[in-house]
């Protein structure tokens, strides 16, 4: 799809340039301090997997990046733009450059699979109906769902919903992909298929990605780098091998459970 169709210019980032920059992020819900000084950097084309125990604020981190939540303190820069204080229009301009796969896919249950994928295209492009239909078929084809165009989300399995969610997240050709537990609740075979799919799409679209997951196998497959959260802070950051060989008690405990 031509970039002109999306009504925006592709931001050109040089390799290695930080695309996401999180500095000293704090976030609390009522009395519970979820994030307590998280700092992370993701460079262009890199995939960062964020791991950690349940309730350590991994999903909150993604919601902060896309502006669904606001940090209590700290700074979030996306492609060099600080998002704190951005108006809704400016934030939305950034959001169309990001694709978000929700933990439970969050497909619009009143729309068919095809309409779900077409939704961002209807909203943010000037495509004709036939161009849109072609693009929807292409996207659904890329996730192996081209024959389920007219099904309702309630008629397909959890794994299929995630595939459709992924197609919808990629509809506007995002530069940044945020994945919230892409393999959670799926059987090992479907998880592996989703991992392969994510890996292929990341390469095809040269995406910068942040993946929140509990699944170490998935993290090892799709991520270049891992960040392990504990008690609202980054306990350790590095490659899978670096974390696996760590002497830190918490990191060892986390990896031991999986092995």
Which residues are CB-contacts of 228 (< 8 A; sequence separation ≥ 6)? 51, 52, 234, 235, 236, 237, 243, 250, 251, 254
Binding residue for other proteins, selected from 7, 24, 29, 68, defined by CB under 8 A: 68
How many amino acids of this chain bind other proteins (CB under 8 A)?
A: 24
C-alpha distances out from residue 136 to 2, 82, 212, 233, Å: 15, 33, 26, 40
Site membership for other proteins, residue 126 (CB under 8 A): no
Which residues, in sequence order, are bridge partners of residue 40?
22
Residues 83-102 that bind other proteins (CB under 8 A): 88, 91-93, 95-96, 98, 100, 102
Identify the helix (H) or strand (E) that includes residue 137. Answer: helix 129-142
Site membership for other proteins, residue 66 (CB under 8 A): yes
Site membership for other proteins, residue 53 (CB under 8 A): no
The stretches of 5-128 forming alpha helices (DSSP H) are 58-65, 88-95, 113-124
CB 186, CB 105: distance < 8 Å: no
Which residues, in sequence order, are bridge partners of residue 35?
27
**Part in contact with other proteins (CB under 8 A); list of ranges 26-34, 105-113, 225-233, 249-257:** 105-113
CB of 21 to other proteins, least distance (A): 20
Binding residue for other proteins, selected from 23, 119, 146, 158, defined by CB under 8 A: 119
CB of 121 to other proteins, least distance (A): 10
The residues of the shown chain that bind other proteins, judged by CB under 8 A, are 63, 66-68, 88, 91-93, 95-96, 98, 100, 102-104, 106-109, 119-120, 123-124, 168
């Amino acid at each position: 799809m031509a970039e002109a169709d999306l009504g925006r210019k592709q931001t050109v980032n040089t390799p290695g340039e930080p695309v996401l920059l999180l500095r000293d992020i704090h976030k609390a819900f009522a009395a519970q301090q979820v994030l307590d000084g998280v700092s992370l950097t993701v460079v262009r084309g890199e995939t960062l997997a964020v791991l950690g125990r349940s309730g350590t604020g991994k999903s909150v981190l993604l919601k902060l990046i896309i502006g669904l939540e606001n940090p209590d303190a700290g700074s979030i820069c996306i492609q060099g733009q600080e998002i704190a204080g951005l108006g809704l229009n400016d934030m939305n301009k950034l959001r169309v450059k990001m694709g978000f796969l929700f933990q439970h896919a969050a497909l619009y249950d009143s729309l068919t699979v095809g309409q779900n994928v077409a939704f961002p295209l209807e909203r943010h492009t000037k495509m004709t109906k036939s161009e849109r239909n072609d693009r929807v078929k292409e996207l659904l084809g890329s996730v192996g769902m081209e024959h389920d165009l007219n099904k309702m989300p309630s008629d397909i399995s959890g794994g299929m919903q995630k595939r459709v969610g992924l197609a919808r997240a990629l509809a506007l050709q995002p530069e940044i992909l945020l994945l919230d537990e892409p393999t959670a609740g799926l059987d090992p075979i479907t998880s592996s298929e989703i991992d392969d799919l994510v890996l292929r799409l990341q390469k095809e679209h040269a995406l910068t990605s942040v993946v929140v997951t509990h699944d170490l196998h998935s993290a090892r497959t799709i991520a270049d780098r891992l960040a392990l959260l504990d008690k609202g802070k980054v306990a350790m950051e590095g490659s899978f091998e670096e974390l696996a060989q760590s002497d830190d008690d918490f990191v060892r405990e986390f990896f031991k459970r999986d092995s």
